[in-house]
Each structure stands twice: as structure tokens, then as C-alpha cells.
Amino acid sequence: MTTTSPPPARDQLVVRLRRAEGQLRGVQRMLEEDTDCQQVLTQLAAVKAAVDQVGLHLISERLRSCVASGEGDCSEAFDDAVATFLRFATLAR
């Protein structure tokens, strides 16, 4: 039995999340060191943007794979993806 490695895009998403994790640890240190509020908020915005990009990529890939597979009607997958996107967008505010 052979195993396949995840597609490169998946690896890139993991790298982004690890980078965001490091940034978040940096924010924790900044808070512990009583760093200026503006600097902390700037770093939090960067972490949020990184995580948002991963989420948006996952949603778009879900839609893309349905269309690319050409298997039947994608309306259910589309509706699920739109619902996920709307939930994600609401959480991202």
C-alpha cells in the first residue's frame, strides 16, 4: 500500500499556519513585556490575516475540486461552501 503526500498547496497552508502560530506566540510575549498597544494590535491583525487566508483558500479549493471533478451537480457542494464561507466571514469580522 502506497501513501501519497499531500498536494503542495496543503503544505503551504501548514507553513502559513505555523508562521501564524509563531506570530501569536510573539504577541503573547509582547503582552507579557507590556509592549505598546498599537504594536500588539498590528501583530494581531497580521495573525488574523494569515488565518483568514488559509480559510479562504480551503473554501475556494472545495469549490474548485467540485467543478474540476465534473461529477454531476455541484449545487449541494456549492451551497455547503457558500454557507461555510458566510460562517467564516462572520467569524472573521
List pLDDT tens digits, range 11-37: 899 999 999 999 999 999 999 999 999
Sign, CA dihedral 24-25-26-28, equals positive
What's the pLDDT score for residue 72? 64
Q: Residue 73 gets which letter from DSSP?
A: -
Q: Find the DSSP H helices in 1-93.
A: 8-32, 37-69, 75-92
Q: How far apart are CA 22 and CA 75, in angstroms?
A: 38
Mean pLDDT of the chain: 82
Q: What pLDDT was estimated at residue 8?
A: 58
The hierarchical CATH code for the domain 8-92 is 1.20.58.1000
Please give the model's pTM, rounded to 2 decimal places. Answer: 0.69
Residues of the chain with pLDDT under 50: none
What pLDDT is recorded for position 74? 73
